[in-house]
Structure 1
Amino acid sequence: MDELFKGVADPVRRQMLELLLKQPLNVNQINEHFGDISRQAVSKHLNILEACAWIKIYQAGRERYGYLNKAAFYAMREWLQAYLDQDRASLDNDHGVFLEHSTYKKGDPLTYPVMLQAMLSKDKDFDTLFYIAVKTTGIFCRPFCPANPRPDNVIFYLNREEALRNNYRACKRCTP
């Protein structure tokens, strides 16, 4: 996987992949699209793409044609699929946190990672299931509170009475 990322790390190589998406091209045809870099640099980028398995080179006489290696794209898609399959509802917020609801079913004990992700994603589905106490401010909030405490400054409580017993006061923004 590291090799695949190395191959697409450079914008010139990504442009080359876009060109090859349309049709296989020989080195001269690819070079025509990059007037600001030398032919040797184009060849070097093509060699890197080939070494990283993004493209294959077909030798036809003196001409070398580059074409896309479908297997590399499938490998990248397979790696990304785990992230893309996450709960799409968590993409509706501006926090960009993936929260897979299959890891938590209502009634299951809450784990620290589930509570942390619910806090970061401001998930309203977890309202009243737990509360977030912020050590640095002395307040406690609901999981969807607009406050953004640092994760290392929070303690999770399963009920508001427990937070009150530990001398935390209710947030005035989310009124837990």
Structure 2
Amino acid sequence: MDELFKGIADPLRREVLELLRKAPLNINQINDHFGHISRQAVSKHLQLLEDTGWIRIYQAGRERYGYLSKSAFYAFKDWVDAYLQWGAHSIDNDHGVFLDDTAYKKGMPLTQPVMLQALLSKDKTFDGVFYTAVKTTGIFCKPSCSANPRPDNVIFYDNKDDALKNGYRACKRCKP
């Protein structure tokens, strides 16, 4: 996977992929598209794309043609799909953390990682299941609250009463 990322790390190489997405091109056609850089630089980028598996170069007479390699795209798609499927239920909450559907089933005991992921992803399905209290502010909230506390400052409680007993007050934003 590292090789695939290396191949698309440079914007020029991504532009080459975009060109080849439309149709296979000979090397001269690719070079002509990048008039602002040398042919040697374009050749190095093409070589790296070939070495990392994104494209294939084939010889047809005196011409060399570049075309996209499906296997690289499918490998990349499989890698991305694992993340997209992991958080498919929380597409509206784009906070960078997905909650694995298999990690928590309703009624199961909550674990620290599940509660932390629910807090970071602002998952509304956990509202009322547990509450988050922030040590530095003395406030407790729903997991979906728009507040963004540092995870190391958060304590989790099963119910409001426990948070109140420990000296936390209800959040005025989410009104738990």
Fold shared per TM-score above 0.5: yes
Give the structure 2 partner of residue 3 of structure 1. 3
- Would the aligned equivalents of 1:91 and 1:98 in 2 still touch at CA under 8 Å? no
Query: Could you state the TM-score of these two structures normalised by the residue count of structure 2?
Result: 0.94
Q: In 2, Cα distance between the equivalents of 1:35 and 1:71?
A: 30
Give the structure 2 partner of residue 166 of structure 1. 166
Q: In 2, Cα distance between the equivalents of 1:72 and 1:50?
A: 10
Query: Could you state the TM-score of these two structures normalised by the residue count of structure 1?
Result: 0.94
Give the structure 2 partner of residue 101 of structure 1. 101
Larger mean Cα displacement after TM superposition, 31-40 or 165-174: 165-174
Alignment of 1:1-176 (within 5 A): 1-176=1-176
SS at match of 1:146: coil
Counterpart AA for 1:147: A
SS at match of 2:91: helix
Segments of structure 2 that go 5 or more residues without pairing to the other structure are none
Q: In 2, Cα distance between the equivalents of 1:78 and 1:94?
A: 21
- Runs of 4+ in structure 1 displaced over 6 angstroms? none
Segments of structure 1 that go 5 or more residues without pairing to the other structure are none
Q: In 2, Cα distance between the equivalents of 1:172 and 1:97?
A: 25
SS at match of 1:92: coil
Cα RMSD, aligned residues only: 1.3
Identity, in percent, stands at: 72
SS at match of 2:20: helix
Counterpart AA for 2:173: R
Aligned length: 176
Q: In 2, Cα distance between the equivalents of 1:49 and 1:174?
A: 50
